[in-house]
Amino acid sequence: MNTKVRNNMRLPPEVNRIIFVRNLPFKITAEELYDIFGKYGAIRQIRRGNTGKTKGTAFVVYEDIYDAKNAVDHLNGFNVAGKYLICLYYQAHKQLKKTDTGKVKQELNYLKEKYSI
């Protein structure tokens, strides 16, 4: 995309360089991930899930936000080995809210025990 066009293009606020990918085949290799996502721009890093809870997921970090947008636009719903990819923009503030909720529940349980409620 032309740099002049990019500078005039407004992106939605949720768009960022980090993509969270779900529904990946468990046996997909790092090379295959780079082949799929690298077609849309320079990649800084790919982190695959490696525990029971995170298997089948990955974070893909692009060098450029426009490349990340292009990848999400083209790869969301893309079929890889019979599985359809789910590509979302990583939302750090949503992750923080989840941990805050856990902290509040923990504190609430502590207070319930303390005051025998």
* Spatial separation of the C-alpha atoms in residues 110 and 104, rounded to whole Å: 10
Q: Which CATH class for the 3-91 domain?
A: alpha beta
- What is the residue extent of each domain of the chain? 3-91
CA-based end-to-end distance of the chain: 61
**Global pTM?**
0.71
Residues of the chain with pLDDT under 70: 1-8, 93-100
Place of tokens 């939605």: 12
**β-pairing, 18-22 with 86-89?**
antiparallel
Give the per-residue pLDDT at 4. 44
Give the per-residue pLDDT at 25. 92
